[in-house]
Amino acid sequence: MKKNKIKLIIVFLALLINITTYSQPSIKIGSLEVALKDLGRMDWESAKYECNKLGEGWRLPNRSELNILYVNRSKIGGFKTTGPFPGTDYWTSETNKDLSSLAYVIVFANGYQGGSDSKSDFANVRAVKGIASKNLITNSIIGRPYRIGNLEIAQFDFADLMNWDDAYKACSNLGNGWRLPNRNEIEVLYNNMEKIDCMQINYWSSYTLDRSAWFQNFGYSSGMEKNGFQYKIRYNRVRAVRIIK
């Protein structure tokens, strides 16, 4: 009898520890569940481990999911958005395609999504679970569009740098008339870059010539190429537009 009581106490304590350790306050953003607190700053492997350790499907977000968190950062709360560099960067689960020792991050101070950190570096960690729906991912790109004349501009860049073919498809796949900006429209975006919060980096347009496409350098300064043609296999940032009649 005494042994049975001891066993029951051990089981009860184990359950209590499990609940205390793994219970994670969260908020739902569409179909994606998001932890309300960061897990701290740590290297990439530790970030994956700490998210998985929460159990019940918690994991490190991919780039599209982390972009959803950035877009909804005020609603979710608790993110590091100010402070000394690089204290506002957050890990994604995705390894850099060109160098496996790096993993992609998103900087929550400004939304910059094109950077990669060494997996041994430290970055912030926020866990997610569930699957982000296509509509949720689409809405995280379109957001609250900017309007310049009859040109509507998606609020956010796509999370990935893309070659031209992928950029063309990604914009078209948003549906409802969304597409890559043409040569004149990309210049409109450049002239209004502060208003529409673009990164200081190259962006694709839809204007093509053989195996090349026109780009606009949003970080142009003296001695740099402001715009011109690049091979379509190059990777640049992407912002979608459409015409409102």
Of the candidates 81, 102, 130, which is a domain's last residue?
Answer: 130
Which pair of tokens denotes residue 97?
């395609």
Q: How confident is the model at residue 18 (pLDDT cuts 50, 70, 90)?
A: very low
Which pair of tokens denotes residue 5?
């009581």
Q: Would the pLDDT of 17 be above 70?
A: no
Of the candidates 105, 130, 155, which is a domain's last residue?
Answer: 130
Which residue range forms the structural domain that includes residue 182?
145-243
- Euclidean distance between CA atoms 55 and 202, whole angstroms: 40
What would the pLDDT profile of 70-114 be if each residue is shown by its tens digit?
A: 989 999 999 999 987 779 999 999 998 789 999 999 999 988 776
pTM value?
0.72
Specify the pLDDT at position 19: 43
Same domain assignment for residues 155 and 89: no
Specify the pLDDT at position 42: 97
Q: Does residue 227 form part of some domain?
A: yes
Q: Establish how many alpha carbons lie within 13 A of residue 168's alpha carbon, considering only the half-sphere containing its beta carbon.
A: 13
Q: How confident is the model at residue 9 (pLDDT cuts 50, 70, 90)?
A: low
Same domain assignment for residues 175 and 101: no
- Euclidean distance between CA atoms 136 and 1, whole angstroms: 56
Q: Quick one: which of 180, 197, 191 has its CA closest to 232? A: 180
Same domain assignment for residues 108 and 194: no
Give, to the nearest 10 degrees, the angle between helix 63-71 and helix 134-142.
50
Q: Would the pLDDT of 43 be above 70?
A: yes
Domain count within the chain:
2
Specify the pLDDT at position 26: 95
CB 208 within 8 Å of CB 232: yes
Same domain assignment for residues 201 and 234: yes
Of the candidates 130, 164, 179, which is a domain's last residue?
Answer: 130
Same domain assignment for residues 122 and 38: yes
Q: Domain holding 102: CATH number?
A: 3.10.100.10
Specify the pLDDT at position 214: 98
Same domain assignment for residues 162 and 190: yes
Same domain assignment for residues 150 and 219: yes
Specify the pLDDT at position 1: 53
- Euclidean distance between CA atoms 218 and 230, whole angstroms: 15
Same domain assignment for residues 95 and 58: yes
Which pair of tokens denotes residue 90?
């957050």
* E-assigned strand segments in the chain: 26-29, 32-35, 40-42, 89-95, 102-107, 116-118, 123-125, 128-130, 146-148, 151-153, 202-209, 212-217, 227-231, 241-243
Q: Quick one: which of 127, 36, 24 has its CA closest to 75? A: 36
End-to-end Cα separation, the chain, in angstroms = 81
The chain-wide mean pLDDT, for the chain, equals: 88
Q: Does residue 5 form part of some domain?
A: no
Q: Does residue 12 form part of some domain?
A: no
- Euclidean distance between CA atoms 186 and 205, whole angstroms: 6
Same domain assignment for residues 77 and 175: no
